Every structure is written in structure tokens, then in C-alpha cells.
Structure 1
Amino acid sequence: MPKPYIIGLTGSIGMGKSTVAQMFSDAGVPVFDADAEVRRMQGPGGELLQAIEAAFPGSTGPEGVRREELGALVFGNAEALARLESIVHPAVAKARREFLVGNAEAPLVLFDIPLLFEKGGSETVDTIVVVSAPAEVQRDRVLARPGMTETKFAQVLELQMSDADKRARADHVIDTGVPLPETRAQVQALVDKLIADLRE
């Protein structure tokens, strides 16, 4: 039985990845959102809370992971971050496998993976779509977020591969620096093309 063709969606902060993922979903493509899955597992009653609390005492409560406390413990500490990732990543991989089983009949599925290139997940997908917008559009979007500062934005960019490098490695680029209907049309055209290619 042919497995679904896997689209890997990625892009730097503020490039409109979540909006584009929703557009793929609206076009009938099942979407696996790794970040949303992590939030669910770390939320109230989430299955990762016990392991995270054991590794980082005081970082969880009835509301789930206390993001600020946990962030303070792992930010800038490579060993602590690796410990957290060793808890989170296998759980996300398991959820992704279950998602694939549940959508085995779909011609296309999409994995929304923020750090697809940085964390080396590009070999797990069949094609890579990068969302991109001009740098000034990205900056305006990010700085409009609550609690975001120039310094935080700079730190995030430091950790991410540059937009130019991502575009160079992409199989397809979706431009989000244009009006939403134009971006939606790009998404629909790509979905139509990929499905047509699969039928050949």
C-alpha cells in the first residue's frame, strides 16, 4: 500500500508558517503540528509532565509545564536542553507515527516542523516547503507579538538557519509577503501539482 506523500513545512520565526499550515489543512491535507503536540503533552494532565518534573523539579504544576520556569532552566544550558529533548522528541516521534497510521489513506500529509533543517529532520519527508517573506515584514510581525523584544528576536534568529539558506534548500517556497488570497492560491496550486504528480 503506498504511504502518504509527506510534505515538510518549515520557515523562520514570523514567516507565517502556522497560517500556511492552516491553508494546507483547508485544502484537505492532514497536518501534524509538532509544536501543538508538544503543548498538548505538556499541558494539564499531559503524558510528559511526570518525566519533565522528575528531570526538572518545580517546572510543572496543575496547569502543566510552567514554561517560564522550565525555560529559565534550559535556556543557554546545552546539557539541560538535551535532557529535555530526550524526553520530548521520542514522544513526538511516536505521535507522528500514530498520525501517519491514522491518515494512511490520504495522498498527502503535512508535517509542520519549525526547525526542520536545524534539527536534521529533512530526510524524514518527501518534499520540503519553506514559507518566506521579506525581512522587514518578518521583523514587523515578530515585534508585534506580546513580550517580544529586539534582543529576543535577535537570539531566535541566531538559533535558526537564515531565510536565504532555507529557501536555497527548499523544493518549494510559499511567499507570505503578499495578500493572504495570493498565498492561499500558491498553496492550492502546490497541492494540486503534488497530487497530479502522484497520479502520473
Structure 2
Amino acid sequence: MPQSTPAPLAHITPLPQLKAGKLAIRLPQLFIGLIGFGFSCALIIESGLGAMSWDVLTLGLVEKTGLSYGALTVITSFVVLLLWIPLKEMPGLGTIANAVLVGISADIALRFIPAPSNLPMQWAYVILAILAFSFFDALYIGAQFGSGPRDGLMTGLMRITGKPAGIIRTVLEVTVVIIGILMGGQFGPGTILLSLTVGPHHRLFSSQSHRAIRT
């Protein structure tokens, strides 16, 4: 999955996250964001034109194990969380919710999203997935309940290596994509388009989401 920059509350512990206020806004924003994120993952997978970078790895594991995409997303999320321990990253409430809800919601969405019948429809799925991912990821991050498992891995590596986010993100994503491709994961032009375009859309939606929390 593409990485994003955690919001200011991303590194505080769960109790202060709850005490930060505006739970009537932030909790629904968290869950809607995560469920929508899972829908976005399912949409680009169903397009047949690729997958998000971490999902290329997950789909490779699907080919090797026969488990569902959602089940493997949950499993790999908790494996990544184990890597947080030596990095001394602190998971938030949203971190655990992310690890569970994205995979479950994606599996449900994959059962109901119809397969595209032609190439224009495939590309329509990709474009919609990019916009949906940017919006729902910004909702989740804006709720400020902690970074996702893969985001926390990136920020932890940034802290201990002193390397900038761009380098760490590129190394992580290229590594998981290569491993995923070697295992038969779904890689295509949609993967590349998502990597190139999701940043500007995410920043736009993220600024709106953060503004809603602060006002």
C-alpha cells in the first residue's frame, strides 16, 4: 500500500488519543476511512490492471497459500507490526483497527464488485480507486488515531536510519513489489499510475480532513 505522512497525533499512546477530544467526529471518520480504504484496494484489484504496491505482495501470497486477500492482509499487517518492536514504534487505536478492518472490508467488497467487461471500464475502476484511496486514507489519517502498520514501519526506519521519507518509501515499496511479482502477484499500469498520482490527491483531501478536526 502507498505510504502517507502520519498526522501530529500519530505517535501518542492510545489513552491520549482518546482524550484528544471530538470523538463523535473522529471515531466515525476512522472507521469510514478504513472501510473505504478496503473498498479502494478491492476496486483496483478487480480492475485487473494492477494493485497497490504492498498488495502486489499480498496477492503473490494469495497465489502461494490459497488464502483470501483479506485474510492475508490482516496477517501481513500483524507481521509488520512485529517489526515495530525493535523500531520502538507505538501503535495507536487506529493502527490495530487498520490491521483488522482493511482486509475484512476488502474481502467483502471483492464479493460484490462486478468484474469490468472491457478496457475502458477497467481504467474507470483504476481512476475511481485512486480517488477513493486518496479520500478514505486522508479520512483515516485525519482522525489521528495512529499510523497504519506500513506507515509506522516507514517512519520507524526513517528515525533509526536518518534517511528521508522518499528513500525509505521507495526502498520498501520496490522491495515488496519485486517479491510480490516473483510470487505471481498482480502488477500492472494501474500500480504505476497509483504511485505517481495518489500523493497530490491525498494532500488535497488530507488538508480538508485536518481542517474539519481542528474547527
TM-score, normalization by structure 1: 0.32
TM-score, normalization by structure 2: 0.31
Q: When you count strand as a share of all residues, which structure comes out higher?
A: 1
* Larger of the two Rg values belongs to structure: 1
